[in-house]
Amino acid sequence: MIGVDAMKMLLKRIGIDTRRESIAFLDDDDLTSRALGLHSMDRIEVSANGRRILAVLNIVEGSVVPLGTLGLSNVAFEKLGASAGTLVEVTPAEPPASVDALRLKIAGRELSALQLREIVDDIVRSRYSKVELTAFVVSATINGLSDKEILGLTNAMIESGDQLHFDSTIVADKHSIGGVPGNRTTPIVASIAAAAGLIIPKTSSRSVTSPAGTADTVEVLMNVELSPERIYDVVRREGGCLVWGGALNLAPADDMIIQVEHPLNIDSQGLMISSILAKKKAAGATHVVLDIPVGPGTKAQTAEKGERLKERFQQLGLRLGMNIRGLLTDGSQPIGNGIGPVLEAEDVIKVLRNDADAPQDLREKSLYLAGELFELTGKARGEGRALAEKKLSSGEAYEKFEKIRDLQGRRERPPPGSHTQDILAETNGCISKVDNSIITRIAQLAGAPHNPEAGVYIAKHVGDAADSGQLLLRIFSESEESLAFATRYWRENAHAGIEIT
């Protein structure tokens, strides 16, 4: 014992994935907790070799952690950077300094930029437990965030991590607020834009609630985990890149907030706006085309809500020094034919190669977004769509994509899952509805995105004729069990999944 405020213990790695939250484990019979006055869910500070971390204490029974030993979850062990068996110092940790500000937000008060910076600082430094982080997310959702708070939170999140800087007055970007499966326009738009000479360092996310995020899809074709130095090199040589933003330290507080929003299925408009603006600004963007899908299940379910969201993004973007153009698009059904990383990657390649069987809805939407990006950046005046068409039809966009692919580290696309189930039309008529949420759930049950080869191929879209016995969907999976789950879900929801009238 060193004193009443600290104890020395041996370090052990406990193979538990607690995502971003640092968790420590003590045996329930260990005297350390009694000597330091600790209880389960208390915060502790763990120090070794000049480094220290904050962790939430869990008390365990049995032989998981030997007496005199402190166990750490995977992420906590990696943060501390000490070897197993190292003697570490354990002390009780003080409550986060920003808890008073958090209480004010829970009570419905507007927070200042300084208070929000203190909250973000405590989040990034892992001073918040899941309970406190959840309290912040829920209070921001229920009580809302004013424009002033969104700006304060956005700036705090930008300052909490690294930032990319490019030697150009115009740095282009394109982003979709999500909600539509298969909406994989980003690789196509980025390739068209780079082929026309724009600087477009595209950082994208992995899936949170969808069968594939852009990074999941692109990763099927190339390495997406690049260091800032490699990003600068790829952009310098080809004008653009397609990388996973999570491999960088851009607005790290946002990633931690998202991990709480996901399991709670919380969708706070203020937090969403702040998240997107922070990631775009931190990535160096100056001009952003923002795809706002409108339809059932999207974040803007009506055109009126979409317009309000668009105006808010554009006004707040200007105050952050970014020129944002919000575009309301049709989010009533999936885009493209493939849902899931491998199937979506196939759609992207077909569009870029100008294949005859490329999904035309994905092609047209990509050209529209790229054309608007050209207009926004001044690359074209009234002929943005024509310039986008030229760069795609000529093969220049595909050539640019392939060069970026080689520089980042080419990967060959695997085939879709070997276990399949065809869903056939049971009547004649016209497709009047394809439900986004049901298609998404089928792809997830089949294994996507964890298994990149899993997913759904959509053979018919709204407006297409369908005869009895014709293919509507094909489900792909890498396991018979997952395929059975997905197929059973379809049978239980077929009446709502695709409507034929």
Residue 4 pLDDT: 55
Structure token digits, residue 440: 């998404």
Q: Is residue 62 very low, low, confident or very high in pLDDT (cuts 50, 70, 90)?
A: confident
The 10s digit of each residue's pLDDT in 351-373 is 999 999 999 999 999 999 999 99
Instruction: Kindly report the average pLDDT of the chain as a whole number.
Output: 94
Q: Locate tokens 């490019």: which residue?
A: 166
77-98 pLDDT, tens digit per residue, is 999 999 999 999 999 998 899 9
What does the pLDDT look like over 417-462, one tens digit per residue?
Answer: 999 999 999 999 999 999 999 999 999 999 999 999 999 999 999 9
CA separation for the pair 406, 392 (Å, rounded):
19
Which domains are delineated in the chain?
7-92 (2.40.40.20), 99-144 (no CATH), 172-250+264-408 (3.40.1030.10), 419-500 (3.90.1170.30)
| Amino acid letter, residue 371 | G
267 is catalytic: yes
pLDDT for the residue numbered 52:
92
Of 253-262, 271-280, 425-434, 449-458, the poorest mean pLDDT is in 253-262
Q: Which of 5, 28, 29, 267 is catalytic?
A: 267
Shortest CA distance to 41 belongs to which of 28, 59, 53?
Answer: 59
CB 416 within 8 A of CB 445: no
- CA 405 distance to own-chain centroid: 21
Q: Are 157 and 358 in contact (CB under 8 A)?
A: no
DSSP per residue over 462-485, as a string?
Answer: TT-EE-TT-EEEEEEESSHHHHHH
376-388: pLDDT as tens digits:
999 999 999 999 9
How much is the pLDDT for 118?
97
221-246 residue pLDDT tens: 999 999 999 999 999 999 999 999 98
pLDDT tens column, 302-336: 999 999 999 999 999 999 999 999 999 999 999 99
Give the pLDDT confidence score for residue 457 in this predicted structure: 98
Tell me which residue has tokens 């507007």: 110
- pLDDT-based confidence at residue 5 (cuts at 50, 70, 90): confident
Q: Is the pLDDT of residue 178 over 90?
A: no
Between CA 262 and CA 137 the distance in angstroms is 11
Ramachandran angles phi, psi of 278, nearest 5°: -65, -45
pLDDT for 3 equals 45
Predicted confidence at residue 1, as pLDDT, reads: 39
H helices of 221-323, where? 228-238, 252-264, 269-282, 303-319
Per cent of the chain over pLDDT 90 is: 85
Rounded CA separation 466/486 (Å): 22
Confidence of residue 2 (pLDDT cuts 50, 70, 90): very low
- C-alpha span between 278 and 482 (Å, rounded): 37
Which tokens sit at 485?
Answer: 């789950």
Q: How far is 84 from 169, CA to CA, in rounded Å?
A: 49
Give the model confidence (pLDDT) of 108-141 as tens digits: 999 999 999 999 999 998 888 888 999 999 999 9
More confident residue, 107 or 264: 107
Amino acid code (one letter) for 327: L
**Dihedral over Cα of 95, 96, 99, 105: its sign:** negative
pLDDT at 94: 86
Question: What was the pLDDT predicted at 473?
Answer: 97
Q: What does DSSP assign to residue 247?
A: G
**In angstroms, rounded to a whole number, what is the distance separating the alpha carbons of residues 118 and 102?**
10
Torsion angle, alpha carbons of 345, 347, 350, 354, to 10: -130
* CB-count burial class (<10 Å; 0-12, 13-18, 19+) for 480: exposed
